Amino acid sequence: MSETAPPARPFYVTGGTLKPGEPSYVERRADTDLFESLLAGDFCYVLTARQMGKSSLMARTAKRLGQSGIAAAIVDLTQIGSERGTEAAAQWYFGVANKIHQQLGITAPLRPWWQERSDLSSVQRLTDLFRELVLAHVPGRIVVFVDEIDSTIGLPFADDFFAALRACYNARATDDAFGRLTFVLLGVATPDQLIRDPTRTPFNIGKRIDLTDFTLDEAQVLAAGLHADADEAGQRLGRVLHWTGGHPYLTQAVCRAVRDKGDTGTAEEAVDPQVAELFLAARAQREETNLKHTRARLERRGAEGRRLLQLYQRVRQGKVVADQPSAPLFAQLKLAGVVKATAEGRLVVRNRIYETVFTSAWARGAMPANRGGQLAAATLAAACAGALIWYAAFQPRPYEKAFRAAIEDDGYSGAAEAYAALHTNPFSRKKADVLMLEFWAQRALKYALTGDRDRSLLCNLQGLKYGENEALRRQAGNLIGGDYEHLQLTLRHPASVNDVDFSPDGKTLATGSDDGNVRLWSTGTGALTSTLSYTSSIYALDFSPDGKVLAAGSVQPGRSAILLWDLSRRRLAIPPLEQRGSVSDLAFSPDGRLLAFGGSGNPRGYAQILDARTGKPTFPPLVGGNVGLPVQAVEFSPDGKVLAAGCMPLFGTGGVKLWNAQSGRRIGSLSTDAGVMSVSFSPDGRRLATGPGGILVLRHTVQIWDLAKAAAEWSIETGDWSQVAFSPNGQLLATGSGASGVQFWEAASGLPLETTLLHEGGVALLAFAPRGKAIATASGDTVRIWKVPANPAPFRPQYHLEGSVQRVAQSPDGMFLAVAAGGHARLLGTGTGNIARSLSPAQDGEVAISPDGQTIAIANRFGGYEGELTLWREGLPHQVAANFSGGMVFSPDGQALAIWSYDGAAELRDARTGMQRFPALRLDSGVTGVAFLADGRALAVASGTGLRFFDVKTGTLLRKLSLPDGVLKGLALSPDGRVAALPTGSGILLVDAVRGRLLGSPLALPAQATTIAFSPDGRWLFAAGGRWLATWSWDGQRAVAQSSQLLDGFWMQSFRFPLPSGRDPGLVCEDCIQAVLGDTANGFHLKTLSLAGPSDPPVAGSPNDLLEKWQGRLGLTFGGDEMRPVPGQP
């Protein structure tokens, strides 16, 4: 029967000594220094903090010495004991002698020899041992390693031991034999601690060996265990060192945790949670071994402990503290391991883990009290009480007032002046920090209210520099979201970007802009490496397959040009190729010999193929087939035999035309639901993806076509125009649109995948990098480069329906949903998502549920303003014709239903029968919003520039208020009916609904806001739309902005407040709503949102590190007199 094999040793080893030859051993400069010094016969000492790899270095060096023919002995003093007393000293010295005797394999008996010299002191016996036994019986060179020497500190006889070692060193001068004997001392101590008796000569011999943290180059051996892909493994290792700073124990521990966890996405996603769990969580900070050792060395009693922590505080606060190697206090701080000396001789916190755990606040709390200083301070305070009261209470007041004004006006220069003034007063420094934090929080909020995610994020992080604040960290975490951790670079331009393209080696990204410039950017650093200028807008770009030529399409009114740039010389290879009409897209053939372009001109759209070297046409123009049908996109198949052209008319359907690229003969076409603005071949050339475009299109559908069958394999409704691109390996399809950002799909099945990348303004362009590990997106004047998620998991929306979802309504108790999708209305249970009932057709329709949950209204549009209203009550439908194109809302008691149209009509109908209560209300302009007063006795109708109130029983006009021009869709009334909130082009207007006057300045209106509402208790006002929710507190007179949070789906205009008195089974929270958020065109989820602010996990890390990271990724820096985030690129 065979023996069971021992378990495999883990690749990463945390704690203890790494055996020589371990694959995860990291070789450092100290390995070479120590080995070479011992070969030279030097006495050496390695005195440094715990868990820096001293013992592993010792074991590996001892093995190397043995391989070089040098005898080595290792004495671990922790195994000898630390008892006190005369007898204990004798036992201790014999234990040391016995270890050396055993390790060197000396055959002469030790015990008789030791007992024969009992009349000698233990230290003399040890010295004689080296002369009479060690040197006499062991030939050649000898090295004795003495480990854990700090265990001797405090032993009354320890001075003698180190004096004996020094005596061996000094004996070299008179006895050549001692030149063969060398010692290495290792431990957590300083040389002055080894001999404490002031009457003795200090231990001042030997060569110091510095054991430093791992550098990135040294630590590369650890990358092998982090990921199968070398690039990803390298990024994860870099992220590990970002936290550990190369500390050996911390690095091995984090690497092991990352490996055990498995593949979990980006480097940050794989590493950061493990760091948090191992070291940053509250329990970990209390119980983790390394942190406990470090804390124990820092938390000392009395004046020495206070001085030690005061010194650490200065370092932790970022002050310049020059190292003083000979100063005991500095040595003790470095031995604690929490700080290290830089090459410039400055003390810094050793790594981000220690920086996060051992904060200035922790140091203040751990500092021993200064009783004498406290008494002196109390006496002085009593003597100077009157002056101090004035200085503390009254002197700061004008500056605080100026600070408040600066916060209100968003004026940094005023805030900075007030901050400086307050900071000179020791009593108001804390107040100065609080106010400056508030300044940045308010500036961040103002940016967020306008949808400026990047600048808001940086301002939140800037605020954290002035004090710890969980709300700011949560806001920052919300803005980072699930996608920004994939963001690598943001490239900012002075004009709109019209096209992007990666070079074949992926090291350069070209961008073309309205300002006539082609810019070449380094994809590694984001640096602008070159600019190619022309006289008119650049609309299309494509690199040649060898990367030597960049083709650009330039457009100006009435004509255009194709430019072929020689990139080695940074000039045109041939004169511009003038074209009639526009150039919308360009594509080189895979062999680089041909260049195709598409565009529009008189009388029709066309595509053409040119000789890429000379620019001459190979065939006459390839006509799109329909008069005025522009060609928006062109692409060659991977084998270069077929050219596909996407045709996109301004209105109606388009399609794809296919030509033989060698003969110019048209070989097929594909008919699509909408115009085609984007095409992409799969890498095997068997399939073609098309992205929809155009306006007045019923369905925007991305389609994947089997080219052999000329049939769609699958399609995705996106609800908007879309760019498409296959990944280079063909496994992913990326779609980019204005509504949902970049969405990844499984190319074989069309199933959505988890990660969505948001680019404010919508994704107008996208392109995969050649290796498929990065993707570029463009919108407006920004281009972003993202890391493509590795192996994204399939995404399953909480609720998924066939067909595009048009509207969702929630029952008041949250138990069911009414959904209009794919031309039908259905009832879903919120718990299961199963269809409880199919209701009725809902073509381009609306749904609403009465406040009592008893009636479901479905409005069906037939085109224009004609429609049909279906009321479901007690399981039975009741249908009536209705004038409907806008929306509908139930009265508070659920007995009436108001519907309205954009042609200026509003109707009030009985919720049971659907019959009109009075003739339709005709207004002089289109209705933009309708709302009932809380008591249900009046109906408010916003239309054009006026707000009217009607009696719900008779339809009589009660009053009319005139409003500024530009009222948009939406209307909200406060519960008491005294205030109306209306969206306009200049913001949200708050209007006194009784007196008709404006209440203050307009509130900032979030981008794409489609919903405005007051909370039932009147304490909150919110506006939502797109992917933003903005909230204000409301006291009946004044609205104060509280939050603007990024949503993890797009707002679908359906929400509900909790039922009163805790009677809500699914929404047990105060000051919150339950909202429907869209994931895809046919999928959505329910989300509880706090009106007070986001509840996302707070972002972790020091403010300076976070600012450095996100300024780099967002392409912004703080500049100018007002310290606003401005583009950092030229």
Residue-wise pLDDT tens digits, 354-384: 998 998 888 888 888 665 555 555 555 554 5
Confidence category of residue 388, pLDDT binned at 50, 70, 90: very low
> What DSSP string runs through 887-935?
EEEE-TTSSEEEEE-TTSEEEEEETTT--BSSSPEE-SS-EEEEEE-TT
Percentage of the chain with pLDDT > 70? 90
Taken in order 907, 908, 909, 911, the sign of the CA dihedral is positive
Residue 626 has pLDDT above 80, yes or no: no
Amino acid, single-letter form, for residue 452: D
Residues 903-906: contacts with CB under 8 Å, at least 24 apart: 903/865, 904/943, 905/865, 906/930, 906/939, 906/941
User: Of 50, 56, 57, nearest to 247 (Cα)?
Assistant: 50
Q: Taking the C-alpha atoms of 624, 630, 631 and 632 in order, what is their torsion angle to the nearest 10 degrees?
A: -160
Would the pLDDT of 3 be above 50? no
For each of the domains in the chain, give its residue range(s) and CATH number, in order of start.
29-208 (3.40.50.300), 380-481 (1.25.40), 491-728 (2.130.10.10), 805-1080 (2.130.10.10)
Which of 400-414, 599-613, 854-868 is predicted most confidently? 400-414
Burial 595-633 (b: 16+ CB within 10 A, else e): bbbbbbbeebbbbbbbebeebeebeebbbbeeeebbbbb
pLDDT of residue 862: 65
CA distance 143 to 30: 17
Rounded Cα distance between 1014 and 1035, Å, is: 12
Q: pLDDT per residue over 837-851, tens digit each? A: 778 766 667 899 999
Residues 849 and 818 sit within 8 Å (Cβ to Cβ)? yes
**What would the two tokens of residue 1020 be?**
């909150």
Report whether 743 contacts 725 (CB < 8 A). Answer: no
Each residue's pLDDT tens digit, 139-193: 999 999 998 888 877 677 777 788 888 888 888 888 888 999 999 999 888 776 6
Dump strand ranges (E) for 474-614: 487-492, 497-502, 508-513, 517-522, 528-533, 537-543, 549-556, 559-566, 571-572, 577-580, 585-588, 594-600, 604-611
**The predicted structure's pLDDT at residue 10:** 77
Tokens in use for 719?
């609800």
User: What pLDDT is attached to residue 2?
Assistant: 42
pLDDT tops 70 at residue 653: no
pLDDT at residue 230 in the model: 83
Q: Identify the DSSP state of 6.
A: P
Over residues 1064-1071, mean pLDDT: 75
> How is residue 850 written in tokens?
């009465």
pLDDT band per the 50, 70, 90 thresholds, residue 1041: very high
- What is the per-residue pLDDT across 682-740, written as a single tens digit (0 to 9) for each? 999 999 999 988 766 667 889 999 999 999 998 888 777 889 999 999 999 999 987 67
**What are the phi and psi torsion angles at 848 (to 5°)?**
-150, 150
Transcribe 738-775 into DSSP letters: TTTEEEEEETTT--EEEEEE--TT---EEEE-TTSSEE
Which tokens belong to 234?
């390298």
Element spanning 941, H or E: strand 938-943
More confident residue, 649 or 886: 886
Name the average pLDDT for the chain. 86
Quote the percentage of the chain above a pLDDT of 90: 42
**Neighbour count for residue 173 (Cβ, 10 Å):** 9
- The CA-to-CA distance between both ends of the chain, in Å, stands at 74
Q: Is the dihedral of CA 417, 421, 424, 428 positive or negative?
A: negative
Task: Give the lowest-confidence range in 446-455, 732-741, 908-917, 1000-1009.
Answer: 1000-1009
- Over the stretch 39-92, which tens digit does the pLDDT of each residue have? 999 999 898 888 888 889 999 999 999 999 999 999 988 887 656 555 677 788
DSSP conformation class of 593: S
Dist CA 373 CA 471 (whole Å)? 36
Burial of 740 (0-12, 13-18, 19+ CB in 10 A): buried
Judged by DSSP in three states, 698 sits in coil
Note the pLDDT tens digit of each residue in 58-71.
Answer: 999 999 999 999 99
- Of 467, 265, 461, nearest in space to 1110 by CA: 461
pLDDT attached to residue 85: 55
Query: At what angle are helices 289-298 and 302-316 packed, to 10 degrees?
Result: 120
8 A C-beta contact, residue 25 and residue 56: yes
| Interval 342-354: pLDDT, tens | 877 888 999 999 9
Q: How far apart are CA 835 and CA 837, in angstroms?
A: 6
Q: Is the pLDDT of residue 627 over 60?
A: no
Give me the pLDDT at residue 774, please. 96
The pLDDT, as a whole number, for residue 198 is 53
Which token pair is 84?
Answer: 């006190």
Q: Using CB atoms within 10 Å of the CB of residue 652, give its burial: 0 to 12 exposed, 13 to 18 middle, 19+ buried.
A: middle
Q: State how far the Cα of 868 lies from the Cα of 899, in Å rounded to an integer.
A: 11
Burial 116-154, CB ≥16 within 10 A → b, else e: eeeeeebbebbbbbbeebbbeebeebbbbbbbbbbbbee
Is residue 123 a contact partner of residue 165, using CB atoms and an 8 Å limit?
no
Instruction: Identify the helix (H) or strand (E) that includes residue 1030.
Output: strand 1028-1034
Give the predicted TM-score (pTM) of the model.
0.68
What's the CA gap between 680 and 538, in Å, rounded? 21
Indicate whether 572 pLDDT > 90.
Answer: yes
Sheet architecture: strand order including 655-660: 631-636, 642-647, 655-660, 666-670
Instruction: Annotate 12-35 with three-state secondary structure.
Output: CCCCCCCCCCCCCCCCCHHHHHHH
**pLDDT digit string (tens) for 955-967?**
999 988 887 666 6
Phi, psi dihedral angles at 596 (to 5 degrees): -105, 150
For residue 878, pLDDT over 90 is answered with no
Model confidence pLDDT, tens digit, residues 769-792: 999 999 999 999 999 999 998 888
Backbone torsions φ then ψ of 311, nearest 5 degrees: -65, -45
Residue 7 has pLDDT above 50, yes or no: no
- Residue 881, Cβ neighbours under 10 Å: how many? 11
- Spatial neighbors of 353 by CB under 8 A, at least 6 apart, are 243, 244, 245, 247, 250, 275, 279, 280
